[in-house]
Amino acid sequence: MDKSAFEERKVVINGSMHGSLKHDSAHKHVTGAADYIDDIPEPAGLLHGALGLSDRAHAEIAGIDLSAVKAYPDVVWVFTGADIPGVNDTSSNGMHDEPLLAEAKVVFHGQPIFAVIAESRDAARRAARLAKVDYRDLPHWSPRPISLPRQTRSAPGQPSAMSAVGVRRWSIRTWARLLPASR
Amino acid sequence: MSDSIRFILNGEDITLSSLRPTETLLDFLRLQRRLTGTKEGCAEGDCGACTVLVGRLIDGGLYYESVNACIRFVGSLHATHVVTVEHLAAQNGTLHPVQQAMVDCHGSQCGFCTPGFIMSLYGLWLSTEKPSRAQIEKSLQGNLCRCTGYEPIVKAAEQVSQKRPSALFDPLEKTRADIIARLWAMQGGDTIEIAEGADRLIVPGSVAALAQVLADEPKATVVAGSTDVGLWVTKQMRRLNPVVFINHLTDLQRISVEDDGLSIGAGVTYSRAFAVIAEKIPAFANLINRIGGEQVRNMGTIGGNIANGSPIGDTPPPLIALGATVKLRSTAGTRSLPLEDFFIEYGKQDRHPGEFVEGIFVPYPASDAHFAVYKISKRRDEDISAACGAFHLSLDTAGNVQDIRIAFGGMAGTPKRARSVEAELIGKPWTEATVTAARDAFDSDYTPLSDWRASAEYRQLTAKNLLIRFYLETAGAPQELKRFATAEA
């Protein structure tokens, strides 16, 4: 095979592939001109929200007293998971283990429990600190690292905030069996 | 008496006669001035998304330093020049070389942290002509990026230092003389007092005026760098009243190199103290490189680290081990006491009503003494110590321990000496057998707490092991472990 034959086969890609392209918004990022949600001017009368967070890593919520939150000046509304119409769940993987606002149990420090809506950011933030949450602490430590191959390993005797997640690695042959026979 | 704070914001003169004492620079920029290029990330001086430059006059020169706008109070900005990311590009939109380099090197992805990176890199660009990799990394310690990755950002810093354009292009170099004149005109010996409802802020015109203010207001919160007090406001929503700002008092910012030690004013920042400490007490300087990020070191003061009284402040252990004294001042005069006696118990210091920390005196370690400081934290940079230990050892000619001072933070309610361990060691030969036998004496010196930084057991074991480490480092030929480039910065 001579050299010209080789060169003829060289594929030339037209367009932006293979080029070092600048990020579309880079010039805005570096000048501070890129607007994020918090940078957009607020419409008049916009209400502000703040979240009430768990200060326990793992606990049952025995009771919540929100009266001081609701009574704080300029607070418009305080809501909990019970006020959510529909299913109180934001889990993206179908595990149904991630409520938008924790109700019976918190599983991490900083987990949102309630939300305050107020006429100012300051009022919402200050009010959110006034809840009295009655916790019953649960033991907390993480499950052992998950081992990838074959069987999942449980952590006997260790309570955990979430149940162990199993990840199974399949062989190529197993995949091949599951794929449609022809393309 | 004056009733307004005056400073320059980018090009504009600002005069504020109505101001809450705990109004942060970040809220002022974003909410009042609509300068939203400066971002709110963590609101605790950690992530650096809010980085701006603050220029101030020091001995007639104008110096710009990166700071965290989120924990900087507007009341502390009198006679300064605040520079935000919006000020860098030319009027016609031409990017500043620092900005262009970040674009060219693909230094942004989501872009949220980018303005803060730009300002840190710009601060470095202004101060350092050909920064080393270590200096670049040090300047970026206080900026967290979670999607771009640091490599392109460091590349941008390297690229921009290669082709340095003429000073005429730079917005701050162009205006330097003008800004100096304007800041000079704003300075003055008047005490500023601003009342906002029931809350007041006071900016004393001199150290003598500060003493008088605190005599009248012994319960006032004294604020120097606000690297801790800032969090009382942004994280704990505390109301402070009155607030007395002292960061502008140049008489508290003197460092004098004396024959037997360093005299450091209470208002000297970590950054300003760094060069002289690096020369005189290198082991201490390595610790300073690990306090906060560059922004925090540009604001925070050693005096504040002491006056604050925190059991996990990083400078008290080395200072106590070195035998530092603290100088307190009030209208009644001044007094000095050993730093270790200043800390009485958790939350309580030997500071009389109306007194303030005026400065510290740090004796040099003897040329044949061994001195080491170890900071144990989860992250190497920008973290609060789980424990911080300092060891200062003098041996006699026979190789016996003549004197040893060991001080730890994070092991008790105050920074505290390990007197039982010291007693076990003094007079004995400095050998592995001696230190191994002495290590259990830490159990009678300290009863540490468990918290989310470390368990009590971990802390206790760490203290014991650091004694062994100190022994090993002093035995045999001196060696220094340099694990990261920042150790050289």
Instruction: Note the pLDDT of residue B249.
Output: 96
**Lowest-confidence range among A131-140, A149-158, B55-64, B353-362?**
A149-158
Q: Where in chain B is the domain with CATH 3.30.465.10?
A: 251-363
**By CA distance, what is A32's nearest residue in B?**
B37
Mean pLDDT of B410-438: 97
Give the mean pLDDT of chain B.
95
The answer, yes or no, to whether residue A5 has pLDDT greater than 80, is: no
> Residue B254 and residue A138: Cα distance in Å, rounded?
54
pLDDT, mean of residues B5-25: 97
Question: What's the pLDDT score for residue A155?
Answer: 46
List the 47-106 stretch of A: residues with Cβ below 8 A of B.
Answer: none
Pick the range with the lowest mean pLDDT from A36-45, A166-175, B301-310.
A166-175
What is the tens place of the pLDDT at every residue in B88-122? 999 899 999 999 999 999 999 999 999 999 999 99
| Chain A residues close to B86, C-beta within 8 Å | 31-33
* Residue from the list B39, B86, B237 with its beta carbon closest to the beta carbon of A125: B237
B29, closest residue in chain A (CA to CA): A39
Contact B339, B290 (CB under 8 A): no
Q: Which two tokens stand for residue B277?
A: 């400490």
CB B308 within 8 A of CB B228: yes
Where does chain B hold its CATH 3.30.390.50 domain(s)? 370-474
ipTM of the complex: 0.91
- Distance, in Å, from the CA atom of B302 to the CA atom of B270, rounded to the nearest integer, reads 6
**pLDDT for A96:** 82
How far is A160 from A173, CA to CA, in rounded Å?
Answer: 35
pLDDT in tens, B287-330: 999 999 999 999 999 999 999 999 999 999 999 999 999 999 99
Place A174 in a pLDDT band, splitting at 50, 70 and 90. confident
* A22 contacts B103? CB cut-off 8 A: yes
Grade residue A171 by pLDDT with cuts at 50, 70 and 90.
confident
Nearest CA in chain B to A126: B237
Asked if CATH classification 3.40.228.10 holds for the domain at B1-190, the reply, yes or no, is: no
Tens-place pLDDT, residues B125-167:
999 989 999 999 999 999 999 998 999 999 999 999 887 766 6
What secondary structure letter does DSSP report for B373?
Answer: E
Please determine, for residue A158, whether its predicted confidence score (pLDDT) is greater than 60: no
The boundaries of every CATH 3.10.20.30 domain in chain B are 1-190
A residues 8..47 contacting B (CB < 8 A): 20, 22-23, 25-36, 38-39, 41
pLDDT at A146: 46
Model pLDDT for residues A81-124, shown as the tens digit of each residue:
999 998 999 988 777 888 999 999 998 999 999 999 999 999 99
CATH class of B370-474: alpha beta
> What is the rounded average pLDDT of the residues A34-48?
95
Helix (H, G, I), strand (E, B) or coil at B218: coil
For the segment B222-236, what is each residue's pLDDT rounded down to a tens digit? 999 999 999 999 999
Contact across the interface for A25 and B111, Cβ inside 8 Å: yes
For position B309, what pLDDT does the model report?
93
Instruction: Point out the residue among A29, A39, A125 whose CB comes nearest to the CB of B108.
Output: A29
CA distance, residue A28 to nearest chain B CA (Å): 8
Residue among B240, B238, B242 nearest B194 (CA): B242
Q: Is the pLDDT of residue A6 over 60?
A: no
**With an 8 Å Cβ cutoff, are A30 and B118 in contact?**
yes
A120 chain-B contacts, CB cut-off 8 A: none
Across chain A, which distance is largest between two alpha carbons, in Å? 87
Q: Identify the band that residue B353 occupies on the pLDDT scale cut at 50, 70 and 90.
A: very high
Residue B449: pLDDT band (50, 70, 90) is: very high
Cα–Cα distance between B460 and B447 in angstroms, integer? 8
Confidence bin at A152 (pLDDT 50/70/90): very low
Lowest pLDDT segment from A41-55, A155-169, B66-80, B385-399: A155-169
**Contact criterion met (CB < 8 Å) for B34 and A41:** yes
Q: Poorest-confidence range of A3-17, A150-164, B267-281, B295-309?
A: A150-164
B395 has which bridge partners? B401
pLDDT of A3 reads: 53
B296 three-state secondary structure: helix
Structure tokens given for B339: 């730093």
Query: A129 and B103: CB-CB below 8 Å?
Result: no
Between A30, A32, A129, which is nearest B103 by CB? A30
CATH 2.70.98.40 fits B251-363, yes or no: no
- pLDDT reported for residue A181: 62
Counting one residue from A and one from B, how many pairs have CB atoms under 8 Å apart?
70
Domains of chain A: 45-137 (3.90.1170.50), 141-183 (no CATH)
